[in-house]
Structure 1
């Protein structure tokens, strides 16, 4: 009955995306004084999820089913728009801090979805 719960996969993907984006943002901040460094970013989760084609592709539920498996989510990393700094560095610490706050909110949202789903699952099993 509860073999394939996509809400947990989505919450996991959201948290993974937030973690990977936080790593990219922290790398940008670490290189804020590196001459010629161009800031990087990862595409938004919603955009990556919509472009993944999950709504039309069949998903394997076990190893021998459909001769396939569920692929990992590839997050496209790209060079972000750079501000004009005299040394050629395009990192703006203010923008990176705002992105870091946004990523924390995304991660908290993923955890809230997970907690809520666990609560619903426990309630449905009669273990409130």
Structure 2
């Protein structure tokens, strides 16, 4: 029953993705005045997780049956085109919004983890 806890893996992957997004955002801000610098970002987390057809997770009948969803390690870093007068593509307003989004994503991942841990504790205490 407790051998495969995908919810914990998903929460961990979401937190890692948020950390990577925050790191790239801070790198973009640090290079805001660097001529020719191109901003970097990652794909949204939702694009890294394959959609379920009917809302239910598929059940694997053997270990190699289903491939796991993409983790942060395979997240593609996307570079933006240069658009500012100095050949730099950093827009500080966008970076601030990206930073806030990464914080919210990380908080959401921690909330999912805490709720899952609470449910697991509750299930184990009833036995």
TM-score normalised by L of structure 1: 0.80
Q: How does 1:79-94 map to 2 (within 5 A)?
A: 79-80=79-80, 82=82, 84-94=83-93
Note the aligned Cα RMSD (angstroms). Answer: 2.7
Secondary structure at the residue paired with 1:125? Answer: helix
**1:38 and 1:89 in contact (8 A); partners too:** yes
> 1:115 & 1:50 partners in 2: Cα distance?
24
Which stretches of structure 1, 4 residues or longer, exceed 4 Å deviation after superposition?
Answer: 69-72
> 2:19 & 2:40 partners in 1: Cα distance?
15
- Residue matched to 1:118: 117
**1:59 and 1:70 in contact (8 A); partners too:** no
- Residue matched to 1:28: 28
- Residue matched to 2:54: none
> 1:19 & 1:3 partners in 2: Cα distance?
27
Q: How does 1:95-110 map to 2 (within 5 A)?
A: 95-110=94-109
Structure 2: tracts of 5 or more residues without a match? 52-56
> 1:85 & 1:59 partners in 2: Cα distance?
53
**Cα offsets for 1:34-88 (capped at 9, x unmatched):** 001111110000011128xxx77x597xxxx54xx96872101111355x32211
Q: Count matched residues.
A: 119
